[in-house]
Amino acid sequence: MLTLFPGMFAGPLDESIIKRARRAGVLDLQIHNLRDYAHDRHRTVDDRPFGGGPGMLLKPEPIFEAVEKLKRDGTRVVLLSPAGRKFTQASARELAELEHLLLVTGHYEGFDERVREALADDELSIGDYVLTNGALPAMVVVDAVTRLLPGALGDDTSAHEESFSPAVPGLEYPQYTRPAEFRGMKVPDVLVSGHHAEIARWREEQAKSRTKERRPDLLGKRET
Ligand code: 9D3
| Run of H or E including 64 | helix 60-70
CB of 129 shorter than 6 A to ligand 1? yes
Name the residue at shortest CA distance from atom 4 of ligand 1: 82
For the chain, the farthest-separated pair of C-alpha atoms sits apart, in whole angstroms, at 73
What's the gap in Å between 190 CA and the centre of ligand 1? 47
Tens digit of pLDDT at every position of the chain (224 positions): 999 999 999 999 999 999 999 999 999 999 999 999 999 999 999 999 999 999 999 999 999 999 999 999 999 999 999 999 999 999 999 999 999 999 999 887 799 999 999 999 999 999 999 999 999 999 999 999 999 999 999 765 566 545 556 645 899 999 999 999 999 999 999 999 999 999 999 999 999 999 999 999 999 998 76
pLDDT (0 to 100) of residue 107 = 84
pLDDT (0 to 100) of residue 114 = 98
Residue from 4, 81, 86 to probe ligand 1 pocket by mutation (most atoms less than 8 Å from CB):
81
CB of 125 shorter than 6 A to ligand 1? yes
pLDDT (0 to 100) of residue 185 = 98
pLDDT (0 to 100) of residue 161 = 47
Write the CA distances from 87 to 59, 92, 124, 125, integer angstroms. Answer: 25, 7, 6, 6
CB of 54 shorter than 6 A to ligand 1? no
How many angstroms separate the CA atoms of 86 and 83, rounded?
A: 9
b or e along 10-19 (b: 16 or more beta carbons within 10 Å of the residue's beta carbon)? Answer: eebbeeebbe
Minimum-distance ligand 1 atom for the alpha carbon of 83: 4
CB of 49 shorter than 6 A to ligand 1? no
CB of 53 shorter than 6 A to ligand 1? no
How many angstroms separate the CA atoms of 37 and 164, rounded?
A: 39
SS3 content of the chain, % helix, strand, coil (to 5): 35, 15, 45
Minimum-distance ligand 1 atom for the alpha carbon of 81: 26
Beta-strand pair 46-47/57-58? antiparallel
**Amino acid identity of 85?**
R
Query: pTM of this prediction?
Result: 0.93
Q: What are phi and psi of 185, to 5 degrees?
A: -95, 120
Beta-strand pair 185-186/181-182? antiparallel
CB of 127 shorter than 6 A to ligand 1? yes
